[in-house]
Amino acid sequence: MKDLKRSAKKKHKDCQDALDHMNKYLKSDSKHAVMLAESFLHILDYHLMKGDLRPKNVHLIALLRRDLE
Protein backbone atom coordinates (compact mmCIF):
# COMPACT_ATOMS: atom_id res chain seq x y z
CA MET A 1 0.00 0.00 0.00
CA LYS A 2 2.86 2.37 0.85
CA ASP A 3 4.45 1.87 -2.58
CA LEU A 4 1.08 2.43 -4.27
CA LYS A 5 0.61 5.74 -2.45
CA ARG A 6 4.17 6.81 -3.24
CA SER A 7 3.64 6.03 -6.92
CA ALA A 8 0.32 7.89 -7.00
CA LYS A 9 1.87 10.95 -5.33
CA LYS A 10 4.72 10.96 -7.86
CA LYS A 11 2.28 10.74 -10.77
CA HIS A 12 0.15 13.49 -9.23
CA LYS A 13 3.21 15.75 -8.99
CA ASP A 14 4.13 15.02 -12.60
CA CYS A 15 0.60 15.95 -13.73
CA GLN A 16 0.62 19.07 -11.58
CA ASP A 17 3.98 20.12 -13.07
CA ALA A 18 2.56 19.75 -16.60
CA LEU A 19 -0.52 21.82 -15.69
CA ASP A 20 1.64 24.48 -14.02
CA HIS A 21 3.75 24.64 -17.17
CA MET A 22 0.65 25.09 -19.33
CA ASN A 23 -0.60 27.79 -16.95
CA LYS A 24 2.65 29.71 -17.52
CA TYR A 25 2.10 29.39 -21.25
CA LEU A 26 -1.42 30.80 -20.87
CA LYS A 27 -0.04 33.84 -19.05
CA SER A 28 2.51 34.43 -21.81
CA ASP A 29 2.27 37.16 -24.42
CA SER A 30 3.49 34.69 -27.03
CA LYS A 31 0.76 33.53 -29.41
CA HIS A 32 2.70 30.27 -29.94
CA ALA A 33 2.81 29.54 -26.18
CA VAL A 34 -0.92 30.22 -25.76
CA MET A 35 -1.75 28.02 -28.77
CA LEU A 36 0.36 25.19 -27.35
CA ALA A 37 -1.36 25.45 -23.97
CA GLU A 38 -4.81 25.53 -25.58
CA SER A 39 -3.99 22.46 -27.66
CA PHE A 40 -2.69 20.55 -24.64
CA LEU A 41 -5.73 21.46 -22.55
CA HIS A 42 -8.08 20.65 -25.44
CA ILE A 43 -6.64 17.14 -25.68
CA LEU A 44 -6.71 16.69 -21.90
CA ASP A 45 -10.33 17.85 -21.79
CA TYR A 46 -11.25 15.38 -24.52
CA HIS A 47 -9.68 12.49 -22.60
CA LEU A 48 -11.39 13.57 -19.38
CA MET A 49 -14.85 14.17 -20.84
CA LYS A 50 -15.16 11.79 -23.79
CA GLY A 51 -12.15 9.54 -23.81
CA ASP A 52 -10.27 7.00 -21.77
CA LEU A 53 -9.99 9.10 -18.58
CA ARG A 54 -13.70 9.08 -17.81
CA PRO A 55 -14.27 7.67 -14.29
CA LYS A 56 -16.00 4.51 -15.55
CA ASN A 57 -13.05 3.72 -17.84
CA VAL A 58 -10.47 4.37 -15.13
CA HIS A 59 -12.46 2.12 -12.80
CA LEU A 60 -12.47 -0.62 -15.44
CA ILE A 61 -8.70 -0.31 -15.90
CA ALA A 62 -8.20 -0.55 -12.12
CA LEU A 63 -10.33 -3.69 -12.02
CA LEU A 64 -8.40 -5.23 -14.91
CA ARG A 65 -5.09 -4.49 -13.24
CA ARG A 66 -6.22 -6.37 -10.16
CA ASP A 67 -7.03 -9.38 -12.31
CA LEU A 68 -3.61 -9.25 -13.96
CA GLU A 69 -1.66 -9.24 -10.69
pTM as predicted: 0.74
Say whether pLDDT at 41 is over 80: yes
Structural domain range at position 24: 2-68
Number of domains in the chain: 1
- The model's pLDDT over 6-39, given as tens digits with 9 standing for 90+, comes to 988 999 999 999 999 999 999 999 999 999 999 9
For residue 67, CA distances in Å to 39, 52, 59, 60, 62 come to 35, 19, 13, 11, 9
